[in-house]
Structure 1
């Protein structure tokens, strides 16, 4: 009978911080495990899905031929089909946004559009001479390399690098 009064004294004492932390950690671990183990997810739910840039009728792109906006039913949405979104697909340059100087630029069309959109700018050299450049469209038009040639991309990069080095800072 002496054990009951002793048990009462133990229960009546204030809990120690270590005991509270251990109890809280146990609750967190058991709650997390209970939540995870009740999930009906399978490894297949976490497998990467292939994307063609457009959604199927069910909202997923998984290689089926029932693409929303796939007008020719070839299994993918191509440019100029009803499901094409030029703001989010491909090179993200819309037809009306591509200046004539950048037509037929191929993979360099985005860089070409960037260079062509630059304003006229200039700078003063250390010797005091002034350099003035026309706007980007005129600079692309004046390139010796033409869109679609191998040196065109390198020439565009050089123009963009020069602009970044000397651009006006406000």
Structure 2
């Protein structure tokens, strides 16, 4: 078997995550986790994947902090796999991939499954990429440059900002 090249030291923010999610099985496992699957057997049944391959992919996702194992709630000896915050952060990526697939791999209104907003029961709007000033942007509007050339790098919101956003979710 050919050993895969690791990108964990790559200076590219696309290449590094591919060590964790760079094969279709891993993304399909994450998709299934978002759809509520938690047990090894559930993933195997959904994906039709050989046990040895599923074991390797689950282990990789756990090692990368995307899934974590926790004891099954009914007190059995089994464990379940649940998404971590890092894993939940993949949601926009999966939505973008889904929407891209709906647009380019299905005829108009031919896709049998749709992502909906559970509260309203309506399809989720297409994702849009916007600049800091709110303009809709595409590939021709962007460039990849070293951080020191743009002044200040992106700064993730502080935990107090995230906590505030989380506590106000019911108000949205």
Give 1 or 2 for the bigger CA radius of gyration: 1
Fold match by TM threshold 0.5:
no
TM range (shorter): under 0.3
TM-score norm. by structure 2 comes to 0.20
TM-score norm. by structure 1 comes to 0.20
